[in-house]
Amino acid sequence: MPSCLYLLKTNLEALILISIVDYGMGNLQSVQNGFARMGYKTFVTDRPEEIARAKGIILPGVGAFGQAVLNLKEKGLGEAVKKRAGEGVPLLGICLGLQLLLESSQESSEEKGGGLGLVPGKVIKFQGNLKIPHMGWNSLKIVKEDPLLKGIKNGDYFYFVHSYYARPEDGRKVLAMVEYGKDVAVVVRGEPLIYGVQFHPEKSSEKGLKILANFGELVEKWK
């Protein structure tokens, strides 16, 4: 193989180490910048064939659950993510991306369909005398140790913006919670390496960047 073609192939492989899924509803640049600060190359894509080659997948998201579901279906991105995650590739859902890992949301009508169903459970709207959305910094209550949370301690603060929260069917899927009216799940894990965080790690200073670095390490170790 000519050296220039070899270098091009090598560079492309590096770029698709971690794919950030672009379905039109994510804060893509800040997520990409966060990984870059921790030394990880990422590739923003809206093409299923590139997700199929990724060694790690980020599913970001800001906005409404139902529209996100429609956008993922339109280009076949949802199925591509599900297939790759089922093959064991590390997957991280951020904010709305976490909620899309579950089966359904109170925010969405049945006509628009459910989530990816990678983590059994529902997305529930906050109720009661609370300021909605839950916006700002809140401290984690870690309930289960996991490589994604390496270096994170009880009481560490992360940045949130959300009106709905994840409620997995199996409480053993919950890695960390925050108290907002009641304890709600904000870090979940499905198998084998399916993760979701309700906060924005890319906006959560050093601790948030540590989460991104931990995910990068999981990607490096995969196969």
* Listed residue (147, 13, 145) closest to 90, CA to CA: 147
E strand spans, 61-219: 91-94, 104-105, 121-125, 134-139, 141-142, 157-162, 164-168, 174-180, 182-190, 194-197
Amino acid in position 37: R
Q: CA-to-CA distance for 137 and 199, rounded, in angstroms? A: 9
Q: Enter the tokens of residue 85.
A: 């995650």
Q: What are the φ/ψ torsions at residue 15 (nearest 5 degrees)?
A: -65, -35
- Give catalytic residue positions: 95, 200, 202
User: DSSP label at 107?
Assistant: T
